[in-house]
Amino acid sequence: MTQLDILSKLPPAIQWHDDSLTLLDQTRLPLETVFEVQETPEQVWQSILQLKVRGAPAIGVAAAYGLCVAVQPFIGASIADFLDGLNDQAAYLNSSRPTAVNLGWALRRMQSVASQSDFNDSRDLYARLVEEAKAIHAEDIELCEGMARHGAPLIKPGMGVLTHCNAGSLATTGLGTATAPMYLAHANGVSFKVYADETRPLLQGARLTAWELAQGGIDVTLITDNMAAHMMATGQIDLVITGTDRVAANGDVANKIGTMGVAILADYFNIPFYVACPSSTIDFETPDGSGIPIEEREADEVSCFGSARVATQDTQVRNPAFDVTPNKLVAGLITEKGIINAPYDVNLKKMFV
């Protein structure tokens, strides 16, 4: 696919070479491109918590490789000790952030491969785990390509497309989720504009989406979150595409805080609101959005703007990092197998179970 040209213009979020995991520190983008080798499970845990690596699919891939880093001290131990170490480290990495289901999904997949293997030597088991992490990585790239194929036809010439947070290449190891249809439509010669919400408090839209889409040659304009209604009311938005951290079995969608507000606005202005959702982000164990754990983050992220304090230290703050958009506001879920429409409880299962 021509999109590979786009990927070559962006720094990779995650790299695995010679048993070593390197993450792009996304907190430094777009001003600095800094890569950090991950030496310990504690470092991987912190990298996920601090959003050095972020975005649901990327968190899953990073956790799978992170688990390989975490079990390296157990190579050479008995299989039983290796498995104990593996399960402890998986539980530890899984505690880094609660909302993106890809984290637990990738770790459980690694644990299940380990428990089903019948190796006598922990070196062989380690090699099998690395192979599985590489498979999760390769599949993530393919999932993005599938969402690109199915989502690109939604983008018509002359459209204004709004997105929120960063569901881009940086949030995955491929073309992104919400951005995948944009990259493919652009590669196909469709002319359209993207509006990127800045996405307070951590500005993933401003720092990451506006930057990565511009690198990919897409016509992108940054707006603050409170401008979305005006842009819609004045006819500049024809389509919304966001990503998601977890879709419940009934199609309720958890995504970056502010997404639900965008969906409500889109509904009011009759603008279709689509969510790009790889199958790795569907949580069939959680019946509806009320069961999705919402991460609450540090107060300073709200009371400061970047490194500048804007509210006093003793100001009371709430900082939920995600919200849940009710399924009835979702025009469709763009998956790697096609676009799924309501009723989501039935159609998600039909497609993926």
User: Interface residues with ligand MRU (CB under 6 A)?
Assistant: 51, 54-57, 100, 165, 167, 171-172, 176-177, 204, 243-245, 255-256, 321
Q: In whole angstroms, what separates CA 293 from the centre of its chain? A: 16
CA angle 315, 207, 172 (to 5 degrees): 110
Spatial distance between the Cα atoms of 318 and 329, rounded to a whole number of angstroms = 25
Active site residue 245: yes
CA proximity to 260, closest of 234, 225, 209, 216: 225
Q: Rank residues 107 and 171 by Cβ distance to ligand MRU and give the closer one.
A: 171
CA proximity to 115, closest of 105, 128, 106, 103: 128
Q: Rank residues 89 and 177 by Cβ distance to ligand MRU and give the closer one.
A: 177
Q: Rank residues 100 and 210 by Cβ distance to ligand MRU and give the closer one.
A: 100
Closest contact distance (angstroms) between CB of 251 and ligand MRU is 16
Closest contact distance (angstroms) between CB of 103 and ligand MRU is 10
Spatial distance between the Cα atoms of 53 and 36, rounded to a whole number of angstroms = 11
Spatial distance between the Cα atoms of 105 and 63, rounded to a whole number of angstroms = 10
Q: Rank residues 53 and 232 by Cβ distance to ligand MRU and give the closer one.
A: 53
SS3 category, 69: helix
Q: What is the DSSP letter of 328?
A: G
Give the residues across from 324 on adjacent strands: 254
Spatial distance between the Cα atoms of 115 and 132, rounded to a whole number of angstroms = 13
Catalytic residue (one of 25, 197, 238, 245): 245
Single-letter residue type at 218 = I
Active site residues: 245
